[in-house]
Structure 1
């Protein structure tokens, strides 16, 4: 029975289906509390276009949009497979959220701060850390001081830093975590990566996750859907990785051949480009054969819908 008790539902599945339930808020609150280093309480889960798959607004996909006890808005998104223009989509999602939550004619003073948390399970780029934090600070070019703005609040003039208003961004690069978990944050990232939770954990939210996210508490049908979800992620990542390696290999080979014939620099450049293009086409064909929608294939590869339909 020990093995049954030690298997938990991965966060990327739970966030779409279980963590919207008020009874399970404590799990998500624990992650936010550890990440912000401040006790965070969720008042409500907000619904928006971001929780729907809208063809004309495909970039604004958010797994959970929450409001904390301060009225600030928190966007939490899990991304399992590579996507082009990922940073641009994060920016778009935050900008749209700000405009969604202020009515026409309403005072700009009612704009709420937005926190964007991206949990990514793919190679986003170069960097040695598993957690990155971005925040707007206005620093003097010569004085090296931080700008303070005088603002009116409750009929009083108060100093305020731009970082108190501007959005903050957190990017958790799950696959870059390769440590023995000792701190609450490390325990959380280890759970995000592996689905494993230590029995004696004291990390906020994880003890609740051990009770509420047990794999064997799901119905057989739910377990089957969950297992298929994990298999699909593995297949997609394998397809993308294989295609990337094939594209690089073809690019190097053609680059070397053309480099010898027409000049090494030009040949390498053209070979890499051609290899990359052929790798993307190969990826798109495989994802299409798996039944992935053309819109998602387009996001993953950068190919147009028309190009995908012609494959």
Structure 2
């Protein structure tokens, strides 16, 4: 990168950013600059690639020369993201593994992976506040806001490509723990049901089993029984939105405290345990490290609320 005397920045795009959309590159490169300003300079043609105007969806190519104009933000303009320090500190404590290529986080329940939709704070915003020198931080996959557990973040474009390839090839193993209603039958080791996603007028996503949906499969194993509830390990083969939540419901065993697909009567049976959140936790992730080629298995411990729930259920079962 070089900077001209008038504040214009000229950047030579390397293979690290080959294939990345220009708007996403700028949002990472111009930290602290509001999204609205980034899209404004793109629309006005102030950002040039190889001396030509480009659209926000333009994908960078290794060897491109990117021209970025001097950015002046008004002191009156509030930053788009102002994460609370305690929530950032909570994320820092939740890091399970980190090196130059990847970061693995035990995401707390109730934290979205991205800010937006009225939320000023998400995992990515928090990590960017924690790692201000990191030029690249992108989610490899997603977790629902109320689901806790392992979330994988790439710190290099090449790492993101490698990990996305593992997801496409289904060589990445994800294991979740879920507390479901009733006695899960031991012989039900897999649920295959096509899933169709609907977006309501409110913007809320609702998923249902439908012959018009995409093929979806989740494998299940009983971990522990409590009579009116079962702790199961759920391993999604495909990665559809709300897949485990809808597949457990389809099997007749909805997850505890699921505000979209759950059953209020089951939730009431669990109030004595102190549980008040969705009992779905991404407990383990097995994958190939994108740079070393080593097989990594990372496990995320349950939070206090989930542990306490299981402790109370075990005490009641053994009483």
Interval of TM-score (by shorter of Structure 1 and Structure 2): under 0.3
Q: Which has the higher strand share?
A: 2
Query: In proportion to residue count, which structure has more helix?
Result: 1
TM-score using structure 2 length: 0.24
Larger RCO (CA within 8 A; separation ≥ 6) = 1
Per the normalisation by structure 1, the TM-score is 0.24
